[in-house]
């Protein structure tokens, strides 16, 4: 399992290990990498990109990691500068990288997303993808086109494999991944609305004896749907291990919901005598994971890989002597870094040093235009709500800044946030008597993150020590 915000997980076996990647959308660095011996216990292994591809600006979605002829290929979706969503590829000699970007392969008018490479029954290499017609109220056909072996271009005419035509699909199919077994190609695909509080995603299966079809859908679809613990399961990759078959995909925990993001789950399936497949765990597949806690004493010169920041920001920092110096930005949201939360009730705290020259504090982050944060500056603690880009102070206190101040936030039910402060790290005083409503924070395709903020003119900086996050 990949707990935390890991949408659209992809997995492939490379030699004696399994490698996985996931969507980062507008968080940076781009596409986290993980490796595992058993598909259950995963270790972080960096990121695919630590700089944006030169042609793209945002929406880094659906990385598909594959291994072919001794090379690792990463297919992904991104928004082209002054253009639409495009599918691109990158290549590496080893799964941990470095990855060389090969540029866009297909950019349709309404957008092209969710790439999956597959060889047909004759060994010819194809790209499978979804046309993002739903972004313009149009159909979402699944296309296939031959691809050059160097992954630099598609060749020939594209051919439609299938589209949404069943009532449960709600007019949208996407996230196709394919596995070949015996006489059939099997396409696992997602349908309906992927994301947010009102999602109704599910997973279906279709089959064909030839890659280009004709394709038929399983009459019993969806083969994966929500249960008491998880909702909106879909968009993943099948993989084989020791003669058994598994599907790594995402779903929302019903406990943390959209606030906790889409987490990576593993479900075993088998092929049935009638030529279809079924999931062995039924609707009782995985129990949600809660974090035992996280403490960052900033021991290294670089931030831990679990920290993320906005793809639209030039975040700069330095770490020395267990102190993080986060350079300020003048934007309404300041400069910020954040990390995933795994439960609906949690608290986080950080020590702010008196030497800080910016507004320095702790934040609950949706995106650049939506966050709630408490900062200390010039002997004033302020609690600010940033909603749709408009900032409003909702609480403030005047204090004499000690040599260091601990700021803390306590979140209940993923919607109510109480901020407090301590001059000695033991006794805390409440900042906002009425809990702040944070239900507006999560963007439709991402999760809330808790983190640190540094707001002020260029040249100012916030100094932090010891960030701690505890689930309750």
Q: For 291-304, what is each residue's pLDDT tens digit? A: 568 999 999 999 99
Q: Are 431 and 397 in contact (CB under 8 A)?
A: yes
Largest CA distance in the chain: 75
Q: Are 182 and 233 in contact (CB under 8 A)?
A: no
Strand partners, 146: 126, 155
Whether residue 285 is predicted with pLDDT greater than 80 in this model: the reply is: no
Domains and CATH numbers, the chain: 10-279 (2.115.10.20), 294-471 (2.60.120.200)
Q: Which of 8, 169, 349, 368 is catalytic?
A: 8
Comparing 102-106, 279-283, 284-288, 410-414, which segment has the lowest mean pLDDT? Answer: 284-288
Active site residue 157: no
Instruction: Say what the pLDDT of residue 291 is.
Output: 59
Average pLDDT over residues 313-326: 97
Whether residue 425 is predicted with pLDDT greater than 90 in this model: the reply is: no
Phi-psi region of 242 (alpha: psi -120 to 50; beta: other; left: phi over 0): left
Q: What percent of the chain has pLDDT over 70?
A: 98
Instruction: Say what the pLDDT of residue 438 is.
Output: 95
Instruction: Say what the pLDDT of residue 281 is.
Output: 75
Instruction: Say what the pLDDT of residue 256 is.
Output: 85
Residue 300, CA distances (Å) to 83, 296, 308, 338 in order: 39, 10, 16, 17
Which pair of structure tokens corresponds to residue 264? Answer: 């990576």
State how far the Cα of 64 lies from the Cα of 235, in Å rounded to an integer.
11
Q: Which of 5, 101, 114, 174 is catalytic?
A: 174
Which pair of structure tokens corresponds to residue 221? Answer: 């679809």
Residue 109, CA distances (Å) to 68, 121, 134 in order: 30, 31, 12
- Centroid of chain to Cα 334: 22
Taking only the tens place, the pLDDT of each residue in 8-25 is 999 999 999 999 999 999
State how far the Cα of 210 lies from the Cα of 352, in Å rounded to an integer.
62
State how far the Cα of 65 lies from the Cα of 96, in Å rounded to an integer.
11
pLDDT band at 1 (very low <50, low <70, confident <90, very high): confident
State how far the Cα of 224 lies from the Cα of 202, in Å rounded to an integer.
6
Strand partners, 222: none
SS (H, E, C) the chain: CECCCCCCCEEEEECCEEEEECCCECEECEEEEEEECCCCCCEEEEEEECCCCCCEEEEEEEEEEEEECCEEEEEEEEEECCCCEEEEEEEECCCCCCCEEEEEEECCCCCEEEEEEEECCCCCEEEEEEECHHHHCCCCCEEEEEECCCCCCEEEEEEEEECCCCHHHCCCEEEEEEEEECCEEEEEEEECCCCCCCCCCEEEEEEECCCCCCCEECCCCCCECCCCCEEEEEEEEEEEECCEEEEEEEEEECCCHHHHCEEEEEEEEEECCCCCEEECCCCCCCCCCCCCCEEECCCCCCCCCCCEEECCCCCCEEEECCEEEEECECCCCCEEEEEECCCCCEEEEEEEECCCCCEEEEEEEEECCEEEEEEEECCEEEEEEEECCEEEEEEEEECCCCCEEEEEEEEECCCEEEEEEECCCCCCEECCCCCEECCCCCCCCCCCEEEEEEECCECEEEEEEEEEEEEC
Instruction: Say what the pLDDT of residue 306 is.
Output: 92
pLDDT band at 255 (very low <50, low <70, confident <90, very high): confident
Strand partners, 234: 250
* Long-range contacts from 38-44, C-beta under 8 angstroms, 24+ separation: 38/241, 39/11, 39/239, 39/241, 39/246, 39/248, 39/266, 40/1, 40/266, 42/1, 42/2, 44/305, 44/306
Taking only the tens place, the pLDDT of each residue in 114-131 is 999 999 999 999 999 999
Instruction: Say what the pLDDT of residue 282 is.
Output: 54
State how far the Cα of 367 lies from the Cα of 5, in Å rounded to an integer.
14
β pairing state of 173-181 and 184-191: antiparallel
β pairing state of 370-377 and 100-106: unpaired
Sheet with 30-36: list strands edge to edge: 10-14, 17-21, 30-36, 43-49
Whether residue 393 is predicted with pLDDT greater than 70 in this model: the reply is: yes
Q: Are 226 and 233 in contact (CB under 8 A)?
A: yes
Instruction: Say what the pLDDT of residue 284 is.
Output: 46
Q: What percent of the chain has pLDDT over 90?
A: 91
Instruction: Say what the pLDDT of residue 283 is.
Output: 47
Active site residue 385: no
Give the pTM: 0.95
């Amino acid at each position: 399992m990949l707990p935390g915000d890991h949408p659209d997980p992809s997995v492939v076996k490379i030699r004696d290990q399994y490698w996985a990647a996931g969507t980062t959308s507008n968080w940076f660095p781009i596409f986290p990498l993980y490796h595992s011996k058993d598909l259950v216990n995963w270790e972080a292994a960096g990121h695919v990109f630590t700089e944006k591809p030169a042609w793209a600006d945002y929406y880094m979605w659906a990385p598909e990691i594959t291994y072919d002829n001794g090379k690792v290929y990463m297919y992904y979706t991104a928004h082209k500068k002054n253009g639409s969503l495009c599918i691109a590829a990158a290549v590496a000699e080893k799964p941990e990288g470095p990855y060389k970007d090969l540029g866009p392969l297909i950019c349709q008018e309404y957008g092209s997303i969710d790439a999956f490479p597959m060889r047909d029954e004759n060994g010819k290499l194809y790209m499978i993808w979804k046309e993002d017609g739903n972004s313009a109220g149009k159909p979402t056909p699944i296309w296939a086109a031959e691809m050059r072996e160097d992954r630099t271009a598609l060749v020939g005419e594209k051919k439609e494999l299938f589209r949404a035509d069943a009532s449960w699909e709600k007019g949208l199919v996407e996230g196709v991944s394919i596995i070949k077994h015996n006489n059939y190609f099997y396409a696992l695909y997602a349908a309906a609305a992927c994301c947010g509080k009102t999602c109704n995603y599910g997973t279906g299966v279709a089959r064909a004896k030839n890659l280009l079809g004709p394709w038929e859908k399983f009459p019993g679809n969806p083969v994966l749907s929500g249960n008491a613990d998880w909702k909106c399961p879909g968009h993943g990759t099948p993989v084989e291990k020791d003669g058994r078959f598994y599907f790594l995909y995402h779903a929302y925990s019903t406990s943390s919901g959209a606030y906790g993001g889409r987490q990576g789950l593993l479900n075993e399936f088998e092929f049935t005598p009638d030529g279809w497949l079924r999931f062995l765990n039924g609707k009782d597949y995985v129990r949600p994971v809660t974090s035992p806690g996280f403490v960052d004493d900033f021991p290294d010169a670089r931030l831990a890989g679990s920290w993320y920041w906005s793809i639209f920001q030039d975040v700069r920092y330095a770490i020395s002597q267990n102190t993080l110096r986060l350079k300020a930005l003048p934007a309404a949201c300041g400069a910020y870094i954040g990390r995933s939360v795994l439960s609906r009730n949690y608290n986080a705290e950080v020590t702010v040093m008196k030497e800080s020259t910016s507004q320095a504090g702790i934040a609950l982050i949706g995106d650049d235009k939506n966050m709630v944060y408490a900062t200390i500056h010039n002997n004033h603690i302020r609690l600010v709500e940033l909603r749709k880009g408009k900032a409003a102070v909702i609480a403030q206190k005047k204090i004499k800044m000690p040599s260091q101040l601990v700021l803390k936030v306590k979140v209940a039910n993923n919607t109510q946030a109480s901020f407090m402060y301590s001059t000695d790290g033991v006794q805390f005083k409440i900042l906002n008597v009425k809990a702040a409503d944070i239900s507006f924070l999560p963007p439709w395709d991402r999760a809330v993150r808790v983190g640190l903020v540094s707001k002020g003119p260029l040249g100012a900086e916030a100094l932090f020590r010891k960030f701690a996050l505890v689930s309750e």
